[in-house]
């Protein structure tokens, strides 16, 4: 594994992001806001998965039954929205690139100021091992069947680069890593090189 990581490092330039950029620590609720939009039963139903992100429900090979008469109560998800699902405590939050509706049990949130926050950066951040581990500090007792609430997430303090251009640079960097290593290898990578991931603090 380490040999493979050395080969990867030849292809992708590494930065110690914590020491290169100017960072700020703020509570999540000052950066993001929860949104709720309903009454769009004509939109396609979405499923939120840990492996494939937000997908159209009729495109996955799982027979999930739901009452079509309740679709008006489903929450609308737009491209660029983040989704907290029932399994987010295990694998983080998902960024949607689709328009549709999803379970009212899910939490949808967006950046308060898109001009200052990069979805690319936060997409990587919200799937990182350190972020998922940090959720344990605010979601004690959460298991399958109960979604993490926005209130629980909102008090979590996040450390991030102030300059959105730097956020984009970091997001692009880790997206490049995704093209080189598999999901299973990624966990091992950040176990060996924890300082190269975005730090989440209590």
Query: Percent of the chain beyond pLDDT 70?
Result: 69
**pTM for the whole structure:** 0.77
The DSSP output letter for 129 is: H
User: Three-state SS for 136?
Assistant: coil
Query: In Å, how far from its chain's centre is CA 32?
Result: 13
Residue with tokens 């999930």: 64
Over residues 35-94, the pLDDT tens digits come to 999 999 999 999 988 878 899 988 776 666 666 778 999 999 999 999 998 878 778 899
Task: Evaluate whether 129 touches 187 at the Cβ level (below 8 Å).
Answer: yes
């Amino acid at each position: 594994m380490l040999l493979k990581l050395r080969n990867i490092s030849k292809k992708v330039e590494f930065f110690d992001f914590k020491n290169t950029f100017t960072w700020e620590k703020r509570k999540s609720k000052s950066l993001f806001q929860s949104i709720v939009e309903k009454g769009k039963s004509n939109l396609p139903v979405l499923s939120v998965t840990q492996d494939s992100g937000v997908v159209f429900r009729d495109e996955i090979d799982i027979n999930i039954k739901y009452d079509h008469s309740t679709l008006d109560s489903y929450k609308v998800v737009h491209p660029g929205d983040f989704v907290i699902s029932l399994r987010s405590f295990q694998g983080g939050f998902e960024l949607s690139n689709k328009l549709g509706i999803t379970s009212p049990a899910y939490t949808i949130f967006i950046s308060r100021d898109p001009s200052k926050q990069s979805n690319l950066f936060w997409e990587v951040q919200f799937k990182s091992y350190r972020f998922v581990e940090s959720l344990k500090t605010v979601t004690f007792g959460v298991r399958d069947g109960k979604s993490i609430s926005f209130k629980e997430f909102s008090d979590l303090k996040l450390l991030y680069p102030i300059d959105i251009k730097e956020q984009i640079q970091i997001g692009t960097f880790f997206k490049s890593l995704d093209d080189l290593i598999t999901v299973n290898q990624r966990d091992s990578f950040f176990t060996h090189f924890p300082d190269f991931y975005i730090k989440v603090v209590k």
